[in-house]
Amino acid sequence: MVTGSKTGIHVVFFIPNSNTYVDRIKTLKAAAELVGKITVLVGVDDCLEKIENSEVFFMKSVGFKPGDRFGNILKASRQVASLNDVDVIHDTFGNLMITFITQRLKDDRPVLLSSFYALDRWRINHVWKNQGYKIKDLIFTRSGLRMYLGALSQYFMARLSDFVILQAEGLVEPYTESVGMANSSVKVITNSVDTNYWTPLPKRVNNDCKDILKLVFVGGLDDSHGLFPILKVLHRLIGENYKIKMNVITKPGIGEIARVEEFIQNHSLQSHVIMETGLSREQMRDRYRSADCLIYQTINDGSPRVVAEALSCGVSVIASKHPGIEVLDDGKEFIKFTLFSDEIAIANEIKQFINKPDLLKISSVLGRNRMIDKFHIDVVGKEYACLYKTIVNN
């Protein structure tokens, strides 16, 4: 692999799959126009939306196989090794670990970057251990074992990388604690959202005090996403004759769906809560568009893209105070922030939206405008381009 491309900077960026990271890929395509060339290697190309290659942007599937972690890493390293004139190699989730090890042995090599999203060691120490989980409770579940392997991967990738990329300044301190390293090599690039895709309905009909307030929850079933406190709030407000319905859109994790379903049944919430999982990108947009408010609670995320997607669709947001979310609204203008799982605060914010419907309209407009101005793919694409140029030139 020879570094120093003659037509500008050549960046190789690895992404596990295309369906989950469509907006990230589009952001990199925007950055490619400013950098010189970006090659995106995709573990699995499973996106229904076709993203065209160009003279400066090329996407290629590596052909990952489910469950074959080591084999997949070997495939990824071979793909990178086959490329010429590479100036920057940018990894996610440790998939290019072998590449980084071999490149570290060379005198003339590309700059090595890793993006960290959720910090796995911090999550283990501050989320699961605080809730009484033991190591044996976690490693014998698929997601728990993946979390421990992720923590180990981040430990090594932090030491193999020239720079680690985080999604908010407030995540730097948890990062240094998580990997036991100084933060001098940390750079920050925020999440991005395709505001041309995640759009409100042309004529969005806002809620008024006579209508049912439509909530949407997106997240895991485990206690780090605060679903049960939200369900308790819902039960209490319905008991106070507030008209509310909520879509619960879940993803696999440590939590058990049977426990959630039992709670819903025991509290007579069947007619108020709709459970869904495995929704497509288009279905997620439909759910946002039909909702008045997203409720998102997290202890440990990077910068949750679902919050940016909802805001871009003109949906109001009630969220826990977290660096990755606060960066989307650093002036506290449109996101209603609460402490994590603070039932009283969450209930009060929901009541405010019901009693003062104009707040929904105001936060809807402000939130979408903010996503367009600060987090659209073209805006963040410029940040990537600036970062790549700076680290290569220096």
Q: Residue 305: inside a domain, yes or no?
A: yes
For residue range 90-113, list pLDDT tens digits in order. 999 999 999 999 999 998 999 999
275 and 354 share a domain? yes
221 and 354 share a domain? yes
Q: Residue 202: inside a domain, yes or no?
A: no
Number of domain units in the chain: 2
Q: Which of 36-45, 291-300, 333-342 has the lowest mean pLDDT?
A: 291-300
Full domain range(s) for residue 100: 9-192+376-393
What CATH number is associated with residue 362?
Answer: 3.40.50.2000
From residue 287, how far is each of 225, 248, 264, 282 by CA, in Å?
19, 10, 20, 9
90 and 156 share a domain? yes
Q: Residue 198: inside a domain, yes or no?
A: no
94 and 147 share a domain? yes
C-alpha torsion 169→298→249→166, nearest 10: 20
The answer to whether 244 touches 286, Cβ cutoff 8 Å, is no
66 and 139 share a domain? yes
Residue ranges of the alpha helices (H) in the chain? 22-35, 69-81, 97-104, 120-123, 135-139, 142-160, 172-179, 227-239, 257-266, 281-289, 305-312, 323-326, 343-355, 358-370, 377-393
For residue range 165-197, list pLDDT tens digits in order. 999 999 999 999 888 877 778 999 999 999 999
Helix-helix angle 142-160:97-104, to 10 degrees: 20
The answer, yes or no, to whether residue 249 has pLDDT greater than 60, is: yes
Q: Residue 270: inside a domain, yes or no?
A: yes
186 and 244 share a domain? no
224 and 239 share a domain? yes
Q: Residue 197: inside a domain, yes or no?
A: no
For residue range 123-182, list pLDDT tens digits in order. 888 777 777 777 777 777 777 788 888 899 999 999 999 999 999 999 999 999 888 877
